[in-house]
Chain A
Amino acid sequence: GAGVSQTPSNKVTEKGKYVELRCDPISGHTALYWYRQSLGQGPEFLIYFQGTGAADDSGLPNDRFFAVRPEGSVSTLKIQRTERGDSAVYLCASSLIPGSDEQYFGPGTRLTVT
Chain B
Amino acid sequence: GENVEQHPSTLSVQEGDSAVIKCTYSDSASNYFPWYKQELGKGPQLIIDIRSNVGEKKDQRIAVTLNKTAKHFSLHITETQPEDSAVYFCAARSGGSYIPTFGRGTSLIVHP
Real binding pair: yes
Q: A45 contacts which of B32, B89, B99, B103 (Cβ < 8 Å)?
A: B99
Shortest Cβ distance from A41 into B: residue: B104
Closest CB in chain B relative to A108 CB, distance in Å = 6
A101 with B105, Cβ < 8 A, contacts A4-B43, A42-B89, A45-B99 known: no
Other 11 A-B pairs with CB < 8 A, given A40-B105, A43-B44, A101-B32: A41-B104, A44-B102, A48-B98, A55-B98, A98-B98, A101-B34, A103-B100, A105-B36, A106-B43, A107-B41, A108-B43
Contact between chains at B45 and A42 (CB < 8 Å):
no
Shortest Cβ distance from B6 into A: residue: A42
| Total number of B residues with any Cβ neighbor in A under 8 Å | 23
What residues of chain B have their CB less than 8 Å away from a CB belonging to chain A? 4, 6, 9, 32, 34, 36, 41-46, 49, 89, 91, 98-105
Specify the main secondary structure of chain A where it touches its partner. Answer: loop
| Total number of A residues with any Cβ neighbor in B under 8 Å | 24
Contact between chains at A105 and B43 (CB < 8 Å):
yes
A99 with B98, Cβ < 8 A, contacts A40-B105, A42-B89 known: yes
Closest 5 CB pairs of A and B: A42-B102, A105-B43, A99-B98, A45-B99, A42-B89
A31 with B45, Cβ < 8 A, contacts A42-B91, A42-B105 known: no
Q: How far is the CA of A55 from the CA of B99 in the complex (A)?
A: 11
Contact between chains at A107 and B104 (CB < 8 Å):
no
Q: How far is the CA of A76 from the CA of B99 in the complex (A)?
A: 19
Q: Which residues of the other chain, A, contact B89 by a CB distance below 8 angstroms?
A: 42-43
Q: Which residues of the other chain, B, contact A59 by a CB distance below 8 angstroms?
A: 99
Q: How far is the CA of A42 from the CA of B46 in the complex (A)?
A: 14
Q: How far is the CA of A107 from the CA of B105 in the complex (A)?
A: 17
Contact between chains at A40 and B104 (CB < 8 Å):
yes
